[in-house]
Chain A
Amino acid sequence: MSPSSTTQRLDVKKTYKLYIDGQFPRSESGRSYVVNDSKGKFLANASQASRKDARDAVRAARAAFGGWSGRTAYNRGQVIYRIAEVLEGRRDQFEAELRAAEGISAAMARKFVDASIDRLVFYAGWADKVAQVVGGANPVAGPYFNHSAPEPSGVVAIVAPDRPLMGLISVVAPVITTGNTCVVIASEKYPLPAITLGEVMATSDLPGGVVNVLTGSVAEIAPWLASHLDVNGIDLTGVEDAELAADLEVSAAENLKRVRRPGLEDLVAPPPLDRMTKFLETKTVWHPMGI
């Protein structure tokens, strides 16, 4: 809006920062990069996260892991559902952001926003089912109680695909539903809706540090996460460069991270179970039976 108009109010523009440990800090590097809309018009400056930001995010995720994984599955489901509720209330905002970012139609943007909300509801329901689906009692040949149950791997690094909202939720929700905490690198091209989603998570009873969102260069940040020894798993879904993906997998091998390799996937289709199980460990407990 033109400032010369006396009847029009000047927009208050949002500063897009990172989302780390429940806070919205700027990149410690002081860097930002220009994000344009689909027609090349300036939208905003996004924070360009650095190695230090990535490490801060991992530290926050590690600190949050004990509390989050220690909650009851029912409670985690409630929190994920709460994110869906809060997102539902912001449908118009996200529709506008997606249209601005991708230049898609209102109908298409609405479809992605709604699918994103529904995906959260889907995972909210999984939280207290997954242990029953993938765990169980083991009939061992001896007088022992023996059962297996899944537990979260720990801190998971994620490279989100280039679908601003649906892409982010499709990779983050399954990982945190089961009790992991994560550091996610948002779509480099469409970082803004990811940070706005951070605002949703920050107001949804999700403890700070469970999800940490970085924006910036995947090629710059991802190697630090892949080689970080306090990261237990890495999801490479959004890594489009095959050579970079292979390099990241090599770095990840240093501490035997669980790696989900990139691959074509229809994000709107019902998601594969391994979005959850790839970052789950099976724990088997034995106890003798006797009197």
Chain B
Amino acid sequence: MTKFEYAPAPESRAIVDIKPSYGLFIDGDFVDGHGKSFKTISPSTEEVLAEIAEADDADVDLAVKAARRAYTRVWSKMSGAERGKYLFRIARIIQERAREFAVLESIDNGKPIKETRDVDVPIVAAHFFYYAGWADKLSYAGYGPDPQPLGVAGQVIPWNFPLLMLAWKIAPALACGNTVVLKPAETTPLTALLFAEVCQQADLPPGVVNIVTGAGETGRAIVSHPGVDKVAFTGSTDVGRAIAKAVAGSNKRVTLELGGKAANIVFDDAPVDQAVEGIVNGIFFNQGHVCCAGSRLLVQESVAEEVLAKLKRRMKTLRVGDPLDKNTDVGAINSAEQLAKIRELSEIGEAEGAERWSPKCDLPQNGFWFPPTIFTGVSQAHRIAREEIFGPVLSVLTFRTPKEAVEKANNTPFGLSAGIWTDKGSRILWMASQLRAGVVWSNTFNKFDPASPFGGYKESGYGREGGRHGLEAYLR
């Protein structure tokens, strides 16, 4: 099967106005930082997009103090209904500026416009809309008759869903009456800084949301700042461990949403074409830069050949390239560093004896690219079956019985998500009960919704984001 020839259908960049440099958003204004600066680039072209301030300890201190003032003087005193109205405003402005956010996210992150336009940004708006409605109903949430906010939340988010992770952090925090200091990832700061403009347009009181840009050092300064009452982090398990250690013995509350190595389990009675779509969505959505990606395919031995043949055929139709092209399925790898990690683990996969396959795929000259890849003949001991690759790389294993599938699926220190493909209802429910994972997608994969709690078991972290459960992290 060959690809149809598509004419390029690029989304216009004209809608975004990227400034040459950005300061920090503290106390309602953009201010110059005291520290150095760094560049954010487009991972699909390596073009420098803007110069970004790197917040140092003094900047973080200013941001935390601004958040504390806003908390004490304004936000904690405001009625829930009024807080909610600010969040509704923010949701509406995001909807109004959705195209701008989608294009900017795609440029800065490298993910396809199809995804930012249809997944990231709509869910961001929905998330603010959802939590806006909770702000005046917290006493019904099951956390006591008069739940109280915690104070200042320090939030550190990753580069894979920059704006969406911002929404997951800020919306529930504000709804519950907390103020925030948020650090976007160093490779993807632009949509968070555009969100700061949204806060201004919404007349959000100064200091309620503070955005400080920077890398690991800035994150550490936030986490260890004594004025921070709550730490929320999404990112790697290693950094999550370090954060859990850093807050030990303190009164800081913590939620961690960390790595994963999800099993996507296909039984012999599964609707194969749907399952193949689910496998593709599970691992190639967002270039596989997804903590809950279905990165281990467990396929029942009797249908392995058929599933793999169909999977390969489907992979040949994936369009890899310009993120702003509306036909693009797989965009750019977010950074040179991440690309190096994906390459390294893939080479280890080959060296350990697994068989590597990618469709023939013309990759652009500039930028960071990795073709959709599968490994067959993978055993549970292989590093590509155990470690999170965080790229478009699928490890394929087989099983014979449901019990074996459960054992293999659970044989990981992670426990974020899992997928089940079968036509048999009772098997779905039994499998779902056996899998040690926080989100189980049956006959679907990678679905997200503001009303649906998300988070992991075991070393995938603790706490839930989304839904009524997501309020718990921000209330006492």
- Residues on A facing B (Cβ under 8 Å): 133-134, 136, 138-142, 144, 146, 148, 153-154, 232, 242-243, 245-247, 249-250, 252-256, 258, 281-288
**Taking CB as reference atom, which chain A residue is nearest B428?**
A287
Q: Closest 8 CB pairs between A and B?
A: A246-B249, A253-B244, A249-B248, A140-B449, A253-B245, A250-B248, A138-B451, A285-B440
* Docked-complex contact A256 and B458, CB < 8 angstroms: yes
Give the CA-CA distance A283 to B420 in the complex, in Å: 14
Give, as a whole number of angstroms, the nearest-CB distance from A138 to chain B.
5
Set of chain A residues within 8 Å of B244, measured between Cβ atoms: 249, 252-253, 256
Q: Does B441 contact A (CB under 8 A)?
A: yes
> Bound complex: CA of A191 vs CA of B13, how far in Å?
71
Give A144 to B241 CA distance when docked, in angstroms: 34
Number of interface residues of B (CB under 8 A): 40
Given the known interface contacts A282-B455, A283-B438, A284-B452, the answer about A256 and B428 at a Cβ–Cβ threshold of 8 Å is: no
Residues of B within 8 A of A242 (CB): 249
Least CB distance from B412 to A in Å reads: 12
Q: Is the CB of B437 within 8 A of A283?
A: yes
Contact present for B452 and A146 (CB under 8 Å): yes
Residue in B415, B428, B442, B449 with the greatest tally of chain A CB atoms within 10 Å: B449
Which residues of chain B are within 8 angstroms of A249 by Cβ–Cβ distance? 244-245, 248-249
Contact present for B469 and A282 (CB under 8 Å): yes
A-B Cβ contacts below 8 A, count: 104
Min distance, Cβ B418 to any Cβ of chain A, angstroms: 10
Q: B248 touching A253 by the CB < 8 A rule?
A: yes
Interface contacts beyond A138-B453, A284-B454, A287-B443: sample of 19 additional A-B pairs, CB < 8 Å, sorted by A = A136-B468, A140-B449, A141-B126, A142-B447, A148-B452, A148-B467, A242-B249, A245-B249, A252-B248, A253-B241, A256-B240, A256-B256, A256-B459, A256-B461, A282-B453, A283-B440, A285-B440, A286-B447, A287-B428
Is B30 on the interface with A (CB-CB < 8 A)?
Answer: no
User: Which chain B residue shows the least CB distance to A248?
Assistant: B248
The answer to whether A255 and B413 touch across the interface, beta carbons within 8 angstroms, is yes
B428 to chain A, nearest CB (A): 7
- B contact residues around A146 at 8 Å (CB): 449, 451-452
**Chain A CB within 8 A of B142 CB:** yes
Whole-angstrom CA separation of A282 from B85 in the bound complex: 29
Q: What is the interface of chain A mostly: helix, strand, loop, or mixed?
A: mixed
Which residues from chain B contact A247 at a C-beta distance below 8 Å? 248
How far is the CB of B430 from the nearest CB of chain A, in Å? 11
Q: Do B447 and A144 touch (CB < 8 A)?
A: yes
Report the Cα distance A113→B438, complex, angstroms. 39
Known: A255-B458, A283-B438. A250 touches B245 (CB 8 A): yes
Residues of B within 8 A of A (CB): 126, 142, 237, 240-241, 244-245, 248-249, 256, 258, 413, 415, 428, 432, 437-444, 447, 449, 451-455, 457-462, 464, 467-469
Q: How far is the CA of A287 from the CA of B423 in the complex (A)?
A: 11
**Nearest-Cβ distance from residue B159 to partner chain A, whole angstroms:** 22
- Asked whether, in the complex, the Cβ of B444 is within 8 Å of the Cβ of A286, the reply is yes
Is there an interface contact between A254 and B249, defined as CB atoms closer than 8 Å?
no
- Show 15 residue pairs from A and B whose CB-CB distance is below 8 angstroms, ordered by the A residue: A133-B142, A141-B126, A142-B449, A144-B447, A146-B451, A146-B452, A153-B457, A282-B464, A282-B469, A283-B432, A283-B437, A283-B440, A284-B467, A287-B442, A287-B444
Among candidates A142, A232, A250, A284, residue contacting B439 with C-beta atoms closer than 8 Å = A284
A139 touching B451, Cβ below 8 Å = yes
Q: Which of A138, A242, A247 has the most CB of B within 10 A?
A: A138
CA of A111 to CA of B256 in the docked complex: distance in angstroms?
42
A144 neighbours in B (Cβ, 8 Å)? 444, 447, 449
CB distance from B166 to the nearest CB of A (A): 20
Q: Cβ of A288 and Cβ of B444 under 8 Å apart?
A: yes
- Given the interface pairs A140-B449, A253-B244, the reply to whether A285 lies near B442 with Cβ below 8 Å is yes
A276 and B411 CA atoms in complex are apart in Å by 26
Given contacts A144-B447, A286-B440, A288-B444, contact A256 B237 (CB under 8 A): yes
- Chain A hits for B455, CB < 8 A: 282
Chain A hits for B459, CB < 8 A:
255-256
Nearest-neighbour CB distance to chain A for B265, whole angstroms, equals 14
Contact B458 A286 (CB under 8 A): no
Tell me if B440 and A148 are in contact (CB < 8 A).
no
> Separation in Å of the B377 CB from the closest CB of chain A?
29
Cα–Cα, bound, A136→B468 (Å): 9
CB distance from A18 to the nearest CB of B (A): 28
A153 to B438, CA, bound (A): 11
Complex CA–CA separation, A65 to B110 (angstroms): 44
Residues in A with CB closer than 8 Å to B142 are 133-134
Measured in the bound complex, the distance between the Cα atoms of B242 and A256 in whole Å is 10
B-side contacts of A285, CB under 8 Å: 432, 439-440, 442
| Bound-state Cα–Cα, A205 to B226, Å | 49
Asked if residues A281 and B438 are in contact (CB atoms below 8 Å), the reply is yes
Please state if B249 and A286 are interface contacts (CB–CB under 8 Å).
Answer: no
Residues from chain B with Cβ under 8 Å of A255 in the complex: 413, 458-459
Q: What chain B residues lie within 8 Å of A246 (beta carbons)? A: 248-249
Other-chain contact of A281, B126, B428, B457 (Cβ < 8 Å): B457
Q: Do A256 and B438 touch (CB < 8 A)?
A: no
A103 to chain B, nearest CB (A): 33
Q: Using Cβ atoms and an 8 Å threshold, which residues of chain A touch B457?
A: 153, 281, 283
B249 touches A256 (CB 8 A): no
A142 smallest CB distance to B (angstroms): 7
In the complex formed, the residue of A with least CB distance to B451 is A138
Expressed in whole angstroms, the minimum distance between the Cβ of A116 and any Cβ of chain B is 25
Q: Are B241 and A256 in contact (CB under 8 A)?
A: yes
Write the nearest CB–CB distance from B168 to chain A, whole angstroms. 14
Give Cα A256–Cα B463 distance, bound, in whole angstroms: 11
Q: How far is the CA of A138 from the CA of B130 in the complex (A)?
A: 12
- With a cutoff of 8 Å between Cβ atoms, the chain A residues found around residue B464 in the complex are 282
B452 lies within 8 A of A140 (CB): yes
A-chain residues with CB within 8 Å of residue B443 when the two chains form the complex = 287-288
- Residues from chain B with a CB closer than 8 A to the CB of A253 are 241, 244-245, 248
